[in-house]
Amino acid sequence: MSLHLLTDCHVATLVPAPNDPLGLCRDAAVLWDDQDGLLRWVGPRGQLPAGLQAVQHGGQGGWVTPGLIDSHTHLVHGGGRSQEFRLRLHGASYEDIARAGGGIVSTVRATRQASAHELLAQALPRLDSLLAEGVTTVEIKSGYGLDVLSERKSLEVARELASHRAVDVRTTFLGAHALPPEFAGQPEAYIDAVLAMLPELHSLGLVDAVDVFCERIAFSLAQTERVFQSARALGLPVKLHAEQLSDMGGAALAARHQALSCDHLEWLSPEGARAMAQAGTVAVLLPAAFYFLRESRVPPVALLRELGVPMALATDCNPGSAPCASLLLMLSMGCTLFQLTPEEALQGVTCHAARALGLADRGQLQPGLRADLALWPIDHPIDLCYRFGQHHAVRTVQAGRWRSAPFQEAQAHA
Ligand code: DI6
Ligand code: FE
């Protein structure tokens, strides 16, 4: 066992105190064990227990936060959709393109054709962008395979990423993302197929949660409920792409199934928000999709705040509505576009993001939780929301180990 002690730093523990939502501690010390990868002690340096034998690290006066958590991505997918971007700039809507057979289904074609090796090679640079910003946990959804072999391939690639990089990957099965061409006109038959895929993928240990795209261009409330019932019967938690383009009432349905999160929520109704508050469902806000689809309706942040619904912020990294792999940019956009406070934005990529994934062991810095840390050369944690499009020379501890820069790891694996 090796203890590690980080001093010459300040800490935002994200454990809230009265009038201090970020749990700030100046001139702090952080102690962790690199064997079990857990934190042992966090607090003012002056109160550190005496006589510790530990490997010493200096933080050069920077700020330590929990390692960041991207709680909603589709970062394993084949190809890109820049031509569709151009069509949208000429006036076509995201829904028009989807109805004309483009959109998600075009990425399904590319993802089916790609080998696992190709998918991995395409996903790694996106993952590296996140890691270079202090991300230590990333959620990755399937949903561009839409048949059992291609969904399995996508989930396996997502899991394999964690053997190439120091990151914890959580995988979500999103078989009900779009209707694949071979099921055109037969959505119920496709939901039957999704229900058949789920136990098989679950038995392979590939599914941490189950998600559905509930939308006019995707699946109905009743179809969503069929998927949720199967997931719950297997003991799997559910999440929902809800009220992104219209108010389908998905949030209330998800809340009835104790969903971990409802994501997007631009069209969320007051009833939906109240149902989420009662169920303790996290609102995952995705400002990159709002920005990239040039939406004008923002999620009801003031209402969510008033009702005490925890809000997370994530990239939604995907080729159609959010070709973005910067979680720090989401901090800026969450504040500027959605009017989150900087404190709420920081909670959104740490403690509330952990909760959106059902993870009680991270997202805050306190003894017994994972030693996932980001050490930033900044004057105050709010700098992470304030500066955008800039590189921060962040240093990261993941599961108790210092992580080398992603490009160094990439070279080591080349
Ligand atoms: N909502 C989204 O924003 C992404 N998926 C979803 O259900 C978009 C996926 C894509 O366009 O490829
Ligand atoms: Fe999404």
pLDDT band for 28, please (50, 70, 90 cuts).
very high
Q: How far is the CA of 215 from the centre of ligand 1 (A)?
A: 11
Does the Cβ of 320 fall within 6 Å of ligand 1?
yes
**Does residue 412 carry a pLDDT above 90?**
no
Integer Cα distance of 408 and 291 in angstroms? 33
pLDDT, tens digit, 9 for 90 and up, residues 346-364: 999 999 999 999 999 999 9
pLDDT, tens digit, 9 for 90 and up, residues 303-326: 999 999 999 999 999 999 999 999
Q: What is the pLDDT of residue 407?
A: 42
Nearest CA to ligand 1 atom 2: 321
Q: Token pair of 223, please? A: 């179809």
Q: What is the pLDDT of residue 101?
A: 83
Residues 352/116, Cβ–Cβ less than 8 Å: no
Give the mean pLDDT of 262-289: 98
Q: 0.75 cut: is pTM over it?
A: yes
Which region among 55-64, 100-109, 175-184, 353-362 has the lowest average model confidence (pLDDT)?
100-109
pLDDT band for 1, please (50, 70, 90 cuts).
low
Does the Cβ of 318 fall within 6 Å of ligand 1?
yes
**Does residue 404 carry a pLDDT above 90?**
no
**Does residue 408 carry a pLDDT above 80?**
no
Q: How far is the CA of 14 from the centre of ligand 1 (A)?
A: 30
**Does residue 413 carry a pLDDT above 80?**
no
Integer Cα distance of 397 and 134 in angstroms? 9
pLDDT band for 100, please (50, 70, 90 cuts).
confident
pLDDT, tens digit, 9 for 90 and up, residues 205-237: 999 999 999 999 999 999 999 999 999 999 999
When the pLDDT of each residue in the chain is averaged and rounded to a whole number, the result is 96
pLDDT band for 133, please (50, 70, 90 cuts).
very high
Q: What is the pLDDT of residue 284?
A: 99
Q: What is the pLDDT of residue 97?
A: 92
* Cα R_g (the chain), whole angstroms: 21
Q: What is the pLDDT of residue 414?
A: 35
Integer Cα distance of 262 and 276 in angstroms? 8
Q: What is the pLDDT of residue 98?
A: 86
**Does residue 3 carry a pLDDT above 60?**
yes
Q: How far is the CA of 113 from the centre of ligand 2 (A)?
A: 22
Order of strands, sheet of 373-376, starting from the edge strand that comes earlier in the sequence: 38-44, 24-33, 3-12, 55-66, 373-376, 395-398, 401-403
| Residue 405: other Cβ atoms inside 10 A | 15
Does the Cβ of 319 fall within 6 Å of ligand 1?
yes
Give the mean pLDDT of 100-112: 94
Q: Ligand 1: which atom is nearest the Cα of residue 320? A: 11
Give the mean pLDDT of 122-142: 98
**Does residue 411 carry a pLDDT above 70?**
no
Give the mean pLDDT of 15-33: 97
Nearest CA to ligand 1 atom 10: 320
User: Of the candidates 171, 202, 167, which has an alpha carbon nearest to the alpha carbon of residue 362?
Assistant: 167
Q: How far is the CA of 22 from the centre of ligand 1 (A)?
A: 32
